[in-house]
Chain A
Amino acid sequence: MTSLPAAHRSRSEWPLKAIAYAAMVAVSAFAVFPFIWMLVSSFKPFGEIFAGRSFLPQQPTIDNYVRLFEQSDALLKIWNSLFIATVYTGSALLLCALGGYAFAKFQFPGRRLLFALMLATMTIPFAVVMIPLFILMRNVFDWIDTPWPLIVPTAANAFGIYFMRQYLQSLPDEMLDAARVDGASELAIFFRIVLPTSIPALASLGIIFFMARWNDFLWPLAVLRSDEVRTVPLMLIALQGPPGRTAYDVLMAGSVVSVVPMLLLFLFLQRYLVAGVTTGAVKG
């Protein structure tokens, strides 16, 4: 950077900078515009949405939200989504931390093989097991229309265990050994030392798990059949209405409702989310 004279550099580089900023503005606008459209449309009456000519609502109304909460019981759907996402995130974090800790800090027979086997399962698309899993849930567990098919099968998952292992490998052995010398039990070590030192990793993983469950669609669509157990994305599908007369007014209000909690999470935990999604990509 310092090898070129400053004057020369600034003269030759200003068009490049201008292009770079223009590109950033353009791409950001592309990324953000659908959110803005969702928001402004949610305050428009149906007729105005279908006229499709105005940007801001001419006669702003909260009627769409009122109908969303009164007619399709949106509060219940939000509760269903929250319950599934929260219970899943809590249990998955615990089980993945345990697994990751074992793979990072213990020697045991078959460790490499089991770890490789676990990693291999990560690339299997869910659709491969969907049918037999659905039949299992219906005929053996009787879990259709309950939250459990969305929580239990992937509570201990390969991605999470891999993620925690990567993080915990840098935990000093001396800390664990010292606790063992002091007579701490293995469980006490896990809960008093391993979990508290993993908080940044748990935050990253937790936000990824929570978002994945909140936005989940295919599997909930298969196993949540009755209206009162549906999650927010399934509620949106049910709001759709007949082809050609899609109920965009209520749909956009519902979409805003589904996006806002994630936006808030992102706003406060962005750092952890970005750290989370880049683990595995760089030096995996």
Chain B
Amino acid sequence: MPSTRTPAAAAPPQGAAAPRLSYQPVARLWRHRWPLLFIAPFFVLFAVFFLYPVGFSLWLGLHSTRGLARSEFVGFGNFELLFRDPLFWGSMANAVILFLIYVPLMTVLAIVLASVLNAGFLRLQGLWRALIFLPHITSMVAAGYTFRLLLERDSGYVNAALSFFGVSPIPWLDDQWWARISLGLLMIWAWLGYNTVIMLAGLQTIPRELVEAAKVDGAGRFQALIRITVPLLKPVIVFAVTLSVIGTFSMFAEPFVLTRGGPARATETPVMQIFSTTFEELRYGYAAAMSFVYFAVVVGVTIVQLAFMTRGDDR
């Protein structure tokens, strides 16, 4: 880190004192007391509200519980049960399906919108960006109810509008696949603007001359986008998709409100499973085991996604 230097005042007052301090850990800590004090809150809170609970969770995961009063050591019993739990793996499959429904489409749309916003000729750039970004500031509970109202089969405005074009009513929330699509629609609505703004910030770091040079060499706008812009934007795209992976697996409020996980559990997500196992069934031990497996899956999927997206990169 060449950008940071030892501040003068924090250096030992006498040069001769330095070697002695190296085997006096307390003196060494004392010399660095200010920065250590400044970062202490994070590490103290992390220890109390993360490390300790996770340790406790390990204990929980190895016990069968009904509430906490009666708990019984079951070894890996919870995990064995979990690996055969169709509801849990069903929710994992739902997350993957949802990801495939909305993330590719949303990411491509975000890149295209950002390129349009970044094009020199577009007027009112700030206004468009603000409008597209607006959903990101909304409570997903409020948005979920509004979408539910709009998508009601018999009284929703969307079907009313579609019937104007002769489309027969679509069971947006009453059919397993339509419910997933509706949830994907809500996710695109909520996150498209955020992704666009991120992509736009990435585009603004790409020198315009590079793209212009390609066009002078005879590349069309579309070709320049695919051949020049997208490869240069790749780190930002990878970042955005990684966030989408983690975001999809952590989805809770949206399906909780829009579809309540239904119909027939088609939109139930892993976090909804963990939540209901904890707070409705009160099976803490089983839910703790579930959160460990859930975490392992999220890490695994993220690694696979990163490997997939960065394959062939030299660096």
Residues in chain A near residue B294, CB distance under 8 A: 125, 127-128
Q: Which of B229-253 contact A (CB under 8 A)?
A: 236, 239-240, 246, 249-250, 252-253
Q: Which of A258-284 contact B (CB under 8 A)?
A: 258-259, 262-263, 265-266, 270, 273-274, 277-278, 280-284
Establish whether residues B274 and A131, one from each chain, have CB atoms under 8 Å apart when the complex forms. yes
Residues 1-18 of B at the A interface (beta carbon under 8 Å) = 1, 3-10
The reply to whether A131 and B49 contact each other, CB–CB distance below 8 Å, is: no
Please indicate the chain A residues that have their CB under 8 angstroms from the CB of B152 in the complex.
Answer: 52
Q: Name the B residues within 8 Å of A181 (CB-CB).
A: 8-9
B98 at the interface (CB under 8 A from A): no
Question: Does A193 have its Cβ within 8 Å of any Cβ on chain B?
Answer: no
Q: Tell me the complex Cα distance, A250–B197, Å.
A: 33
**A169 proximal to B (CB < 8 A):** yes
Q: Determine whether the beta carbon of A134 is less than 8 Å from that of B193.
A: no
Of B80-88, B124-132, B176-184, B307-315, the segment with at least 4 beta carbons within 8 Å of chain A is: B124-132
Query: Who on chain A is nearest to B1 by CB?
Result: A112
- Bitwise, B22-54 to A at CB < 8 A (1) or not (0) is 000000100010111011011101101110111
Contact B34 A106 (CB under 8 A): yes
How many whole Å from B56's CB to the nearest CB in chain A?
A: 4
Q: Do the beta carbons of B246 and A106 come within 8 Å of each other?
A: no
Report chain B residues within 8 Å CB of A101. 38
Complex interface: chain B residues within 8 A of A139 (CB): 68
- For A35, the chain B residues whose CB sits under 8 A away are 134, 138
CB within 8 Å of A: which B142-185 residues: 142-143, 145-150, 152, 154-157, 160
Known contacts A214-B139, A277-B198; A52/B128 CB under 8 A: no
Within 8 A of B (CB), among A122-152: 123-136, 139, 152
Q: Is the interface of B mostly helix, strand, loop or mixed?
A: helix
At the interface, yes or no: A201 with Cβ under 8 Å from chain B? no
Residue B72 at the chain A interface, CB threshold 8 Å: no
Partner of A282, one of B6, B138, B205, B302: B205
Contact flags B180-205 to A (C-beta < 8 A → 1, else 0) = 00000000010011100110011001
Nearest chain-B residue to A81 (Cβ)? Answer: B139
Tell me which residues across on chain B come within 8 A of A52, comparing CB atoms.
Answer: 152, 154-157, 160
- Interface residue? B295 (CB, 8 A): yes
Cβ-defined contact, B145 with A282, below 8 A: no
Contact string against B for A residues 40-79, beta-carbon threshold 8 Å, 1 for contact and 0 otherwise:
0100000001111101000000000000000000000000
